């Protein structure tokens, strides 16, 4: 890292920083100048983090050079991570992008869920998604059906040959979730719930980690690093929109460029969620394509048998007939991706 | 709430919304017009949330009129909430603003902590703060000393007559935390960790709930509502800066206006944290004053016996001598608050 | 529009709003309720703007229903606006997306510009872009060569059969610009320089109006409305990234979803500028594709004969060989757009 | 400045950067390392801007060390800039903070304006503000009365002994404005209208330059630098809120911390505008105090004789009786500022 000293800092202040770095095993090169002093330190940032140095008097700024995540970094592992499931489905690398679809929340009717699952399967989807435990901004909103929802999901998935994605909200639900789901999802609001990251890091179940509403790309990859550092390298990232100053037409702003950025700096697969990313039905198809064209390894879409009566997020769900139409075009688009 | 139909929506679409609302016990008044149709619905939003209606075809927008939090709302409870501690300290209302101070993290030396605690006490502080469990962006950063840190805090507080504030990161630590601390803190990253909100809602220990980096004021008050809805009304809010487009000079942007806004719409006390809010030592004093002058019920300040060697957030911590100077001026400022 | 009164507003306050609206020719329907009062007013917002009503005591919020731009609105004009140039090039509607390329600034060498122009032409570009007057954040940065640059542009364009796009910074340059360029560009920083909008509105030269760094979509379309209201309906919009909280990897966040949103609400063509939108060479191609796949009518790309020695924005410019490679793939992509 | 090379950059790439810097008169020190290469260059950034270097292959990042503004910098001029008017009023330094008040727009009645001016004068205000030319988001909004408004302002100011502040929207209005006003104002939307900055830079009339909605502090000081670089050093900065993700309760987020930050890095005075900063009457007084307590040299407040019928921004204007009450408390507050 590089330590830039303040303009009016003293030689003694610089020396204290240098001594501290050397004492901690860093190789230090420095230029103490009239106008500015720059200290270039090479060593293991796991022993001293930039924040430690920022506290020294006279330090203006500490600039990291190497990205702070390691296990998630493309520097460390050149080839794309590919996550493979028992039924042969693969996410990542040069594999065909996957489709993950289903209702925002699993609701009270198994038949309805099965109807959705069949539509997903017929349309070429590989995963059925559905919330059993729902994080909701208001305590007065529907909070999910819990284990019953997981049972419904499992049954519908088994009947149709799909895999299941469902969100885990708390470490204490992990054992329960592991009994039912194929992929754990961590929602945007929990992207820095470090205890939850550590818990899922200790199992080897694949995890979809959604980007937080205000996560920088670096913070997001560090959140993935928390999972990987605890032992689980089966992490799938998911761009689902970030918070911006304009929510009149879309719920969030999808940071489509984050997909090629992350693919450059990390080997982890990243998928795209245009339903949450925009909050608007009519934007699901174009934004799914935008994500795929820049390299997303999959798409997550909300579909509901009766969006008008959905217990959550009806506005951003496709009905089954709309989903079929969108999927017909998306499948053709995916077929052509290699040619474009 | 008000349901605004799209310009080209049909009379039938409006009627379906109206029927649904009436079936659910809402009193509905509507104007089906040539150019626009507006439906005004009065009823219990715990039975139907705006999101439910947004899923209906032809609905352009659902506009809530009453703020969606209830227990936290000033409409429901006119008088300021005051939280009183066994030793007579009070937070909120017309009580003298409190000072909460201490290191970002509790570190390895009890003597150092005691030295800080004594400085806090002498300067008129009422609470000793310090992290035992630390949420850290990177897994390679210091994560806190856990229970040992809580023991140190308790001992230092008892020796000096202070109360303790410390952060809870996960519901499973609740029993442990309750044994040691006087006020639970929920950090900005956990503001929508709903399981944690529910857990602290089920005890009656006072809670400082920090605003999330990207929380709107409404979402923030709804997070407080999650705690209150579960039974704990001893919630203290804390403005600690929000994420903005400029972090060159300050870590976050402190939304000072949120303090009088929240005081208008909620009866809960709100304090201000200029250390995290700015990330800069020299801004702690002016931003503490800015918060107090608009109505904050307290100030949270990071102080460390040796900021250069702090294991976290040294840059934004005051040294003990600086803290004493700042407190001398802040105390005088607080003395004069009623006159200004 | 809808006027929502505050919870504790009086019947008299509502009546004053109603009287004011009726006096101004609005058709008013209202429900004065115990809990809330909502006034629904139908009329010509050019006579009373929402801001006027917001000043009345007791008014909580004024909600517009119809989008406030008119000439730019799809409601007013269903079919896509297509802008046609003398040489037959067309922008908008179902026409093949155009490519606009060239250096950020026109520099001192005509030969270099001609080399770039030839590359643009050979690669199928229709427009040569280049700055003659440069808006620069710092007064110490290169400010452009002015009229000499315009002469170079015109000559290079004439020699190659391209059209010219160049930025106008001030109304007083309009006559000069009109002598040379085929399309005026208004930069992001001038998106609400209303005098400039009015001036270009009074000529009939096509205008590329770039979205401001912090423009909402509604404000952006109102900026276009300022031009159209003054008589010039040849407005081409351009998504070039908005300001966000993360600029570590990209200069701005491209709001790709704004393209289909704007196409839904407006008939104006919109193009995409991935060079400014990302500030990174390696993102130009994927983000150009992302824009095109969601409906952009063109792409603007920075290309420079010697990016290392470019006087501005070298980091985001392609070299000529890179440009040729990118264009080969983009042309193939555009060829296939109808099939995907 | 410091040039950080990419991890996989070559020795040759570094050498080309070094050669280029040395050729341009920079003193260069560098460490070409296995893991990273850092080049430290000392010289005159007016000859090479960081953007120039960023275009070189292998350059990861160019980091400036000295702030890029010079004339506006506290490094260059230690003592506070104080702007003095003919009648003895002074803005900046240790002078008593000034109050600037008046209607958003000057309207059709001279008597109304005079009534406001008298209230401003009686309450201790030094400046009458009022818009003659109004930048308006929509072309259908009131655009100001132009010269007639300037005449009214001048007459009302002369009758009451106030000075005038009014906004200039375009360089071509400069001569007209100079005939009437004592302080030119440049609005937030024009903060990077560089032609306008250059034009006002060439006169010596004091200028209030408002911060842009999305201006970083550095960009804002560079905008001031544009004025100063052209010869006019009478620049007064004005914090008036920045754009954020939450506009439900306030129009903008006031960045109160920017005031002490700017006072640290620049010698220019900065005032605060809580009317535009919040858009809410009830927040004017607390946010004025917050600004003053952190070091603002003045407050700008909107006051209108009849806010309900104001042609613009009624919601954020105080009525005359409210203004008198607020001013009574603000004056007392200002009297006490030295003691607190």
CATH number of the CATH domain containing A13: 3.30.70.1140
For A40-58, give the DSSP string: EEES-TTTS-HHHHHTSTT
CB contact under 8 A, A66 and D36: yes
Rg (CA), chain D: 23
Q: Report residue A47's pLDDT band, with 50, 70 and 90 as the boundaries.
A: low
What pLDDT, on a 0 to 100 scale, did the predictor assign at position D46?
Answer: 61
Average pLDDT in chain A? 92
Pairwise CB contact (< 8 Å): C65 & B36: yes
Of the candidates B4, B40, B65, the beta carbon closest to that of C65 is on: B4
3-state secondary structure of D125: coil
Residue D93, SS3? Answer: coil
Q: What is the pLDDT of residue B47?
A: 64
Question: Would you call C6 an interface residue with chain B, using a CB distance cutoff of 8 Å?
Answer: no
Cα–Cα distance, A12 to B64 (Å, whole number): 60
The verdict on residue D136 lying in a domain is: yes
Mean pLDDT to the nearest integer, C150-168:
97
Query: Would you say residue B228 has pLDDT above 90?
Result: yes
- Given a cut of 80, is residue D318 above it in pLDDT? yes
**A44 Cβ contact partners less than 8 Å away, ≥ 6 residues apart:** A25
| Bigger pLDDT: D267 vs B316 | D267
Rounded to whole angstroms, how far apart are CA atoms A34 and D185? 39
Angstrom distance (rounded) from CA D299 to CA D131? 17
pLDDT of residue A58: 85
- Helix (H) / strand (E) containing A114: helix A110-122
Last residue of a domain, one of A35, A63, A91: A63
Question: pLDDT (tens digit, 9 = 90+) per residue, D238-258?
Answer: 999 999 999 999 999 999 999
Residue D40: predicted pLDDT? 83
Helix, strand, coil percentages in chain A from 3-state DSSP, rounded to 5: 40, 20, 40
Tally of structural domains, chain A: 2
Distance CA D325, CA B99 (A): 31
Per DSSP bridges, beta strands D2-5 and B270-272 are unpaired
What 8-state DSSP symbol labels residue D141? Answer: S
| β-strand pairing of D59-63 with D2-5 | antiparallel
Longest Cα–Cα distance of chain D, Å, equals: 76
Higher-pLDDT residue of A234, A136: A234
Q: Classify the phi-psi angles of C321: left when phi > 0, otherwise alpha if psi is within -120 to 50, otherwise beta.
A: alpha
Indicate if B58 and B88 belong to the same structural domain. Answer: no
Q: B235-239 and B207-210: which strand pairing?
A: parallel
Residue B146 resides in a domain: yes
Question: Which DSSP letter does residue B245 get?
Answer: S
Mean pLDDT of C40-55: 74
Q: What's the confidence (pLDDT) of residue C61?
A: 83
* C75, part of any domain: no
Residue B118 has pLDDT above 90, yes or no: yes
Same domain, B36 and B120: no
pLDDT computed for residue A294 by the predictor: 98
D188/D308 same-domain check: yes
CA distance B252 to B276: 8
Same domain (yes/no): A213, A307: yes
| Residue pointed to by tokens 């959604």 | A210
- The pTM for the full model equals 0.94
Residues D38-59 have a mean pLDDT of 77
Q: Which residues of B touch C29 (CB under 8 A)?
A: 31
| CB proximity list for B230: less than 8 A, separation 6 or greater | A139, B197, B198, B201, B202
Which helix or strand (DSSP H or E) is residue C102 part of? strand C98-102
Residue D30 within any structural domain of the chain: yes
Mean pLDDT of C12-32: 86
Q: How far apart are CA D258 and CA D266, in angstroms?
A: 11
Cα C90 off chain centre by: 17
On whether the CB atoms of residues A130 and A113 are closer than 8 A, the answer is: yes
Rounded to 10 deg, the angle between the A217-229 and A194-201 helix axes is 40
Taking the CA of residue B88 and the nearest CA in chain A, the distance in Å comes to 32
Q: Does A64 touch chain B (CB under 8 A)?
A: no
How far is B274 from B250, CA to CA, in rounded Å?
Answer: 11
What's the whole-number mean pLDDT along residues C115-122? 98
Q: Give the whole-angstrom CA distance, residue D340 versus residue D333.
A: 10
In whole angstroms, give the CA distance from residue D313 to residue D9. 55
**Which chains reach chain D with 3 or more Cβ–Cβ distances below 8 angstroms?**
A, B, C
| Nearest chain C CA: its distance from D335 CA (Å) | 32
Which of D73, D81, D104 has the alpha carbon at shortest distance from D240?
D104
CB-based contact B144:B325 (threshold 8 Å): no
ipTM score here?
A: 0.93
The CA distance from A272 to A184, in Å, is 16
Residues C37 and C96 in one domain: no
Chain-chain contact of A282 with C260 (C-beta, under 8 angstroms): yes
Give me the mean pLDDT over the B84-93 stretch.
96
Tokens of A79: 């080839």
- Which CATH number is A226's domain given? 3.20.20.70
D45, pLDDT greater than 70: no
Contacts of A75 in chain D (CB under 8 A): 7
Give residue A46's pLDDT: 61
3-state secondary structure string across D263-276: HHHECCCEEECHHH
For the beta carbon of residue C15, count every other beta carbon within 10 angstroms: 13
Do A43 and A109 reside in the same domain of the chain? no
Asked if pLDDT for residue B89 goes beyond 90, the answer is yes
Q: What is the mean pLDDT of residues C313-337?
A: 92
- Within this chain, do residues D87 and D41 fall inside the same structural domain, yes or no? no
**B338 has a chain D CB within 8 A of its CB:** no
The pLDDT of A245-258, averaged and rounded, is 95
If asked whether residues C244 and C131 sit together in one domain, one would say yes
Q: What is the pLDDT of residue C45?
A: 64
In this predicted structure, which of A194-208, B196-210, D127-141 has the lowest mean pLDDT? D127-141
Comparing A116-120, B50-54, D336-340, which segment has the lowest mean pLDDT?
B50-54
pLDDT mean over D103-107 = 92
On chain D, the residues whose CB falls within 8 A of the CB of C136 are 194
Q: Is the pLDDT of residue D124 over 90?
A: yes
Q: What percent of chain C has pLDDT over 90?
A: 71
Q: What is the mean pLDDT of chain C?
A: 92
Residues B283 and B313 in one domain: yes
Would you say residue C10 has pLDDT above 90? no
Q: Phi, psi at residue D253, to the nearest 5°?
A: -105, 120
Assign B111 a pLDDT band (cuts: 50, 70, 90): very high
Give the residue with greater pLDDT, B135 vs B92: B92
Q: Is B294 exposed, middle or buried (0-12, 13-18, 19+ CB in 10 A)?
A: buried
In a domain, D230, yes or no: yes
Q: Does C308 lie at the interface with D, CB-CB under 8 angstroms?
A: yes
Distances (CA, A) of A210 to A197, B316, C286: 12, 30, 22
Give the pLDDT of residue B75: 87
pLDDT for the residue C102: 97
3-state secondary structure of B92: coil
| Residue C68 forms part of a structural domain | no
Q: Strands of chain D (E only): list them.
A: 2-5, 27-32, 37-42, 59-63, 83-84, 90-91, 98-102, 127-129, 163-167, 183-186, 207-210, 235-239, 270-272, 298-304, 318-319
- Does B33 reach chain C within 8 Å, measured CB to CB? yes
- Domain carrying residue A48: 2-63
Among residues C63, C95, C111, which one ends one of the domains? C63
Residue D313 clears pLDDT 80, i.e. is over it = no
If one compares B113 and A36, the residue with the highest pLDDT of the two is B113
Residues D107 and D222 in one domain: yes
Which residues on chain C are in Cβ contact (under 8 Å) with A245?
214, 216, 242
pLDDT at A45 over 70: no
Mean pLDDT of D3-9: 83
Quote the CA–CA distance of D229 and D223 in Å, as a whole number. Answer: 10
Does residue A224 share a domain with residue A90? yes
> How high does pLDDT run on average in chain B?
92
Contacts of D214 in chain B (CB under 8 A): 245
The pLDDT of residue A301 is above 90? yes
Q: How far is A334 from chain D (nearest CA, A)?
A: 33
Distance from A246 to chain D by nearest Cα, in Å? 7
What per-residue confidence (pLDDT) applies to D312? 74
Residue A136 has pLDDT above 70, yes or no: yes
- What pLDDT score was predicted for residue D56? 84
Assign B135 a pLDDT band (cuts: 50, 70, 90). Answer: confident
| Alpha-carbon distance A297 to nearest alpha carbon in chain C (angstroms) | 15
Residue B141: band (very low, low, confident or very high) from pLDDT cuts 50, 70, 90? confident
Which chains have at least 3 CB atom pairs separated by less than 8 Å from chain B?
A: A, C, D
Over residues C184-204, the pLDDT tens digits come to: 999 999 999 999 999 999 999
Residues A206 and A316 reside in one and the same domain: yes
Cβ–Cβ under 8 Å, residues D264 and D74: yes
B31 touches chain C (CB under 8 A): yes
Residue of D217, D264, D294 with shortest CB distance to B246: D217
Q: Do B63 and C4 touch (CB under 8 A)?
A: yes
* Residue C46: band (very low, low, confident or very high) from pLDDT cuts 50, 70, 90: low
Is residue B73 a part of any domain in this protein? no
Question: How many residue contacts between A and B have a Cβ separation below 8 Å?
Answer: 131
Report if residue D71 sits inside a domain: no
Q: Tell me the nearest-neighbour CA distance from B7 into chain D, angstroms.
A: 21
Bridge partner list, A30: A39
Residue A29 β-bridge partners: A40
Half-sphere exposure of A293 (CA within 13 A, CB side): 31
Cα separation, A139 vs B215, in Å, equals 16
> Span C308-319, mean pLDDT?
80
């Amino acid at each position: 890292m590089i330590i830039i000293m303040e303009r009016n800092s003293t030689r003694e202040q610089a020396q204290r920083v240098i001594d501290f770095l050397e004492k901690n095993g860093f190789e230090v090169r420095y230029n103490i100048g009239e106008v500015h002093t720059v200290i270039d330190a090479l060593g293991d940032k796991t022993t001293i983090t930039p924040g430690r140095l920022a506290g020294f008097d006279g330090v203006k700024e500490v600039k990291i050079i190497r990205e702070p995540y390691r296990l998630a970094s493309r520097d460390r592992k050149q080839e794309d991570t590919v996550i493979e499931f028992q039924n042969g489905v693969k996410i990542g690398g040069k594999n065909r992008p996957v489709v993950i679809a289903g209702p925002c929340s699993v609701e009270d009717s198994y038949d309805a869920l099965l109807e959705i699952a069949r539509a997903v399967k017929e349309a070429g989807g590989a995963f059925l998604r559905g919330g059993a435990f729902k994080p909701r901004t208001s305590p007065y909103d529907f909070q999910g059906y819990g284990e019953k929802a997981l049972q419904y999901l499992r049954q519908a998935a088994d009947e149709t040959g799909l895999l299941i994605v469902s969100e885990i909200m708390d470490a204490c639900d992990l054992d329960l979730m592991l009994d039912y789901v194929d992929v754990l999802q961590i929602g945007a609001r929990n992207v820095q719930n470090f205890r939850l990251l550590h818990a899922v890091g200790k199992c080897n179940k694949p995890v979809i980690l959604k980007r937080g509403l205000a996560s920088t790309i670096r913070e997001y990859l560090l959140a993935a690093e928390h999972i990987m550092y605890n032992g689980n390298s089966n992490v799938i990232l998911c761009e689902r929109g970030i918070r911006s100053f304009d929510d009149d037409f879309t719920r969030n702003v999808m940071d489509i460029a984050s997909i090629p950025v992350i693919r450059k700096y990390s080997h982890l697969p990243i998928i795209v969620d245009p339903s949450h990313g925009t909050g608007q039905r009519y934007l699901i198809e174009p934004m799914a394509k935008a994500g795929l064209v820049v390299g997303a390894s999959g798409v997550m879409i909300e579909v509901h048998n009766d969006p008008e009566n959905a217990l959550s997020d009806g506005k951003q769900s496709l009905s089954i007939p709309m989903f079929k139409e969108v999927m017909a075009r998306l499948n053709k688009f995916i077929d052509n991706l290699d040619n474009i």
